[in-house]
């Protein structure tokens, strides 16, 4: 019961009920992908981006998010869509670029379609803040309770849609992608 109440608080804090809060523009924040390539969200402009946040040590929703992105990667390839999947760690102290690289190999993440990223703790926190991502860590320091959302950014890097991770996320993302040019708010 307490866990459900905490998740409700996290979801409300994530801004599901209204527009994204004014947060620092994360466009110039540097992250590092599974190949060791340094990039920013701004460098991804020109393609729709489907973004989520996970921690490799999380055993709750993160494996589900990764499996969802695995399915999305296959569907995007089959549709020859130019969208990019982006997974950013919630746990940069543990999920170093090396750990994210290992996770990407285990998940079969093709960096042309799916980038798994880490970075400095301050840079990752800046991106998390920009998307109103909140976490609670357990006694071991693992972010085991956190917001579990999928963010769709249009080709200009603007937030087009927020989705809850669900059993229908793949279809919801694929349905929302054609509408990414009509984004509501800018990051």
Which structural domains are found in the chain, ordered by start? 2-12+27-179 (3.40.30.10)
> What digits encode the pLDDT tens for the residues 2-50?
443 344 334 434 444 444 444 456 778 999 999 999 999 999 999 999 9
Average pLDDT, the chain: 85
pTM of the model: 0.82
Residue whose C-alpha is closest to residue 76's, from 32, 68, 64, 103:
68
Encode burial over 109-134: b for 16+ CB neighbours within 10 A, e otherwise: beeebbbbbbbeeebbbbbbebbbbb
pLDDT at residue 142 in the model: 85
User: Residue range 169-178: average pLDDT?
Assistant: 91
User: Residue range 82-109: average pLDDT?
Assistant: 96
Residue whose C-alpha is closest to residue 148's, from 124, 172, 169:
169
pLDDT at residue 16 in the model: 40
pLDDT category at 144 given cuts 50, 70, 90 is: confident
pLDDT category at 118 given cuts 50, 70, 90 is: very high
Residue whose C-alpha is closest to residue 152's, from 85, 107, 89:
85
pLDDT at residue 6 in the model: 40
User: Residue range 128-140: average pLDDT?
Assistant: 90
pLDDT at residue 186 in the model: 43
pLDDT at residue 152 in the model: 96
pLDDT at residue 104 in the model: 97
């Amino acid at each position: 019961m307490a866990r459900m109440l905490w998740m409700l608080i996290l979801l409300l804090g994530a801004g599901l009920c209204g527009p994204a809060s004014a947060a620092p523009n994360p466009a110039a924040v540097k992250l590092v992908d599974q190949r060791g390539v340094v990039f920013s969200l701004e460098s991804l402009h020109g393609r729709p981006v489907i973004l989520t946040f996970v921690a490799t040590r999380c055993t709750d929703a993160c494996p589900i998010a990764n499996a969802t992105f695995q399915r999305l990667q296959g569907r995007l390839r089959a549709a020859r869509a130019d969208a990019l999947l982006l997974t950013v760690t919630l746990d940069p102290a543990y999920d170093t670029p090396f750990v994210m690289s290992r996770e990407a190999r285990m998940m079969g993440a093709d960096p042309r379609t799916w980038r798994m990223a880490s970075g400095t703790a301050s840079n990752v926190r800046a991106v998390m803040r920009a998307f109103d991502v909140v976490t609670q860590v357990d006694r071991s320091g693992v972010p085991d309770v956190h917001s579990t959302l999928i963010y769709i950014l249009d080709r200009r890097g603007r937030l087009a849609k927020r989705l809850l991770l669900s059993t229908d996320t793949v279809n919801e993302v694929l349905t929302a992608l054609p509408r990414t040019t009509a984004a509501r708010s800018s990051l």
